[in-house]
Structure 1
Amino acid sequence: MAKLHSKLIWLILIILLVFVAYLYWVPSQKVDGRRGGAAVAVSTAKVETKAMIRSISSLGTGIANNSITLTSPTSDFITELNIREGKLVKRDEVIARLHDVEERARVTELQGILVDQKRQLDRLKNLATTQATAQQMLDEQQTKVNTTLAQLDIATAQLAEMTITAPFDGYLGLRQVSQGAYINTGTAITTLDDLAVLRVAFSVAEHYLAEIKVGMPLAVTNAAYGDVRFAGTVSAIDTRLDPLTRTVTVHGTLPNDDLRLRPGMLLNVNLVLEQHVAKQISEKALVPQQQKQFVYKVSADNTVQQVEVTIGQRIPGWVEIIGGLEEGDEVVVEGIQKLRSGVTINRVGG
């Protein structure tokens, strides 16, 4: 009985040894078969040296460089209206006049009074040199002159309010009133926008705040013009962040001589944070292992070797190669899961 148990034990050990040997033999046969048999179909690409542009995208809104609504500073009838909708006007050009007969008459009246008061003041100054009693009269007359001057300043300002002019060069918007109409203080007459330069306001996450500088290049696109890119620069960065979204508002300026961009437009903004020349490969070529990165480099005999690489910055779809590869080296980008060092490959696709 003891001999039977001993034979069974030896039989089980032999079977286990055969099974272990089989487990090691089959994978090596598969690898040997790949090495000496059919090549593995993969896609490859070469290491390229080109500009690496790191940028961020955001949605922005077009804003006129200068923009106001022209309103009436007082209440009266419109006697003159010079609104050519959508047309360019120059600074100080008259947009509208209000009925100003009373204001003009008041200015003329005060100017006449002031002339007479100054004449009497000059006469009293001459008397004051010889008569001590004339000094009091001189002081009283000087007070009258000063009072009239103040009243004239007020009347002149009121007269000026009756004429509405353009405070800067710009394009007039739609007319909101008609000539001859009676309008109240604050009534909107039209809008005026300086469109020669368009500003774009957009938000950027606080993560990028330290990298954004005034003068950095940006580009915008709009659905109305398809893929046409409008170039500009960062002109201002807000001093405060939004405490809810943790974003900072950035303004850019865009030349707009052709007036294709308008205030209120939804603009797709691309802000370039950094641009430099670097060796690059597709992100799909990387094989991460723990804290390291590897690629399968293609040799002259169409076999591959796993090579460790040092990577730098990443942009969507691409990664910078700092070490481990040279420009022109060929690496596998698709079919990596089938590879091991020494396997022969067959290039397919792009």
Structure 2
Amino acid sequence: MPWSIGEKASGFGGTLQWGGQIRFGGQPELFPRTMSLSRSQHALRTNAATGVLAALAMLLAGCGGEEANNMARFGGGPPLVVTESVLLGDITDNYTALATARANEAIDVTPRVSSVVSAIRFEEGQSVNEGEVLVELDSREIRADLDLAEANLRERRSRYGRLETLAASQVVSEVELEEIQAQLQVAEAQVNSARARLEDTIIRAPFSGEVGLRRISIGGLVQPNTVITTLDDTAVMKIEFSVPEEYLSVMREDLAIEATAAAWPDRAFTGTVTSVDSRVDPMTRSLAVVALMPNEDGALKPGMFLQVDISRRRENVVLAPEAALVPRQGRQFVYVVDEGRAEERQVSLGSRRPGQVEILGGLQPGEQIVTQGVQRIRDGLPVRMAGAPTGPPTGGSAAGARTPAGPRQ
């Protein structure tokens, strides 16, 4: 049926206006002018009008501003959030160091001379005292050398005595007497050497401790590099571990420590720090520490693995509620309420404790950060803190006004 542009189209709330020109008989005519349309042209124009109105609605919504859209989304007012203050407080850092237990004194027992084992005076795992005989070696040849050296010494002493008497009456010159005196000193040195070698055939414990496994047999030939057994002083154990250089301020001599071992899960071992290395390892940035730990019952063995718990307390640390953190792509953010608006900030984290986290950068003490309601806000959006009066922001345009949504803390 005929339909003119100037009429109201069915389904529209107004008259469709056309801003173009149409030629009639070769002459351009401006709208509105009555024009007859076919049914197909009528449908085409109706669809075009629908698209134009939809685009117009979207444009009007955009002109209202992002804030208007947000207000409509959240019920016509700023979203309600719960905030907490950034505080200064104390925090305790805990570090678990991996330690190795070592005997207070530990050696491989070896002979000083080459000889054949003639007697073994210890049992494996036996506790021995300082100076106690462990092994005896064959000493017959060394004893013969000692006898020969002692005989030579006696002869030199006798001759020196005779010449000394003659020298008093000037029968013997001073030069001859000095030569005999030198020979006497050589003979005395040979005797001392033989006695020392004879003493070395008796192997004694240099300190009190516990011997290990026996690695020789009677009749076996031993050399100075032959290990006979081991000897460990385990009454007191050395605990060796390293700590990061940040803990240098708490590492000092006589510091009490506590360690645990997997072999004794229900027991804690206590000791004290005896020495701290004077240098920090430039590769690991760590500090070597040695502690002594009593071990009267022998529960700890050399080479055991232990864990040492180290603590340090720091004061005036910036602390924030852990619930305020918003992780995103490996970084951490918080929302700070500033003059009634949410401000997104990236923060650097330090140590943690239940419910709180140390802030290394990005926040200052006293600032208010959102702990509840972070899902409903984003950077720059007006917010209302719990307990603040309701209502939309006032005092300026929607695009540029900054009106507090509540008292600034």
Query: Is the TM-score greater than 0.5?
Result: yes
Q: Would you say the 8 A contact 1:72–1:184 is kept in 2?
A: yes
Q: Which runs of 5+ in 1 are unaligned?
A: 297-303, 346-350
| Shift, 1:255, TM fit | 0.7
Q: In structure 2, what is the equivalent of residue 81 of structure 1?
A: 120
Identify the residue that residue 103 of structure 1 maps to in structure 2.
142
Cα distance, 1:129 vs. partner?
2.2
| Secondary structure at the counterpart of residue 226 of structure 1 | strand
SS of 2:19's partner is helix
Closer, same or farther: CA 5–79 of 1 in aligned 2, 3 Å: same
1:182 and 2:207 are equivalent in the alignment? no
Partner-residue secondary structure (3-state), 2:141: helix
**Which stretch shows the higher mean deviation, 139-148 or 73-82?**
73-82
Could you report, residue by residue, the CA deviation over 1:219-254 in whole angstroms, capped at 9, with x for unpaired residues? Answer: 543221236444442624375858xx6566724223
1:233 matched residue in structure 2: 273
Indicate the structure with greater helix content: 1
* Displacement after TM superposition at 1:344 (Å): 4.6
Larger relative contact order, structure 1 or 2 (CA cutoff 8 Å, min sep 6)? 1
- Selected match of 2:365 from 324, 331, 334: 324
Question: Which residue of the partner structure matches residue 182 of structure 2?
Answer: 143
Q: How much identity, in percent, do the aligned residues show?
A: 27
2:350 corresponds to 1:314: yes
Structure 2 equivalent of residue 221 of structure 1: 260
* Partner residue in 2 for 1:17: 60
8 Å CA contact retained: 1:201, 1:249: no
Query: Mapping of 1:219-298 within 5 angstroms?
Result: 219-226=258-265, 228-231=267-270, 232-233=272-273, 235-237=275-277, 241=281, 246=284, 250-257=288-295, 258-272=297-311, 274-277=312-315, 280-286=319-325
TM-score (norm 1): 0.69
CA offsets per residue over residues 186-225 of structure 1, 9 Å max, x none?
32211011223333444567x7597685536655432212
How far is 1:50 from its partner?
A: 5.2
* Counterpart-to-counterpart distance in 1, 2:238 and 2:284: 22
2:384 alignment counterpart: 342
Q: Structure 1 residue 129 and structure 2 residue 168: aligned?
A: yes
Post-superposition CA distance 1:79-138 (Å, at most 9, x none): 332223333322222211112233234334433542443344234323322215243442
Q: Do the aligned residues in 2 keep the contact of 1:199 with 1:251 (CA within 8 Å)?
A: no
Whose radius of gyration is greater, 1 or 2?
A: 2
The offset of 1:163, in angstroms, is: 0.9
Q: Which of residues 9, 18, 25 is equivalent to 1:4?
A: 18
- 2:102 equivalent in structure 1: 63
Partner of 2:92: 52
Gapped regions of structure 2 (runs ≥ 5): 7-16, 21-30, 32-48, 388-409
- State the secondary structure of the residue aligned to 1:79: strand
Question: Equivalent residue for 1:160?
Answer: 199
Computed over aligned residues only, the root mean square deviation of the Cα atoms, in angstroms, reads: 4.9
Q: Which amino acid aligns with 1:222?
A: A
**What SS class does the counterpart of residue 4 from structure 1 fall into?**
coil
Deviations 1:124-159 (A, max 9, x none): 323322215243442232122111112112101211
Structure 1 residues 38-77: Cα deviation after superposition (integer angstroms, max 9, x where no partner): x88x99999795552254x443433222211112223333
User: C-alpha distance in 1, partners of 2:274/2:310?
Assistant: 9
TM-score, normalised relative to structure 2: 0.61
- Tell me the matched-pair count: 326
| Equivalent-residue separation in structure 2 for 1:227 and 1:334 (angstroms) | 42
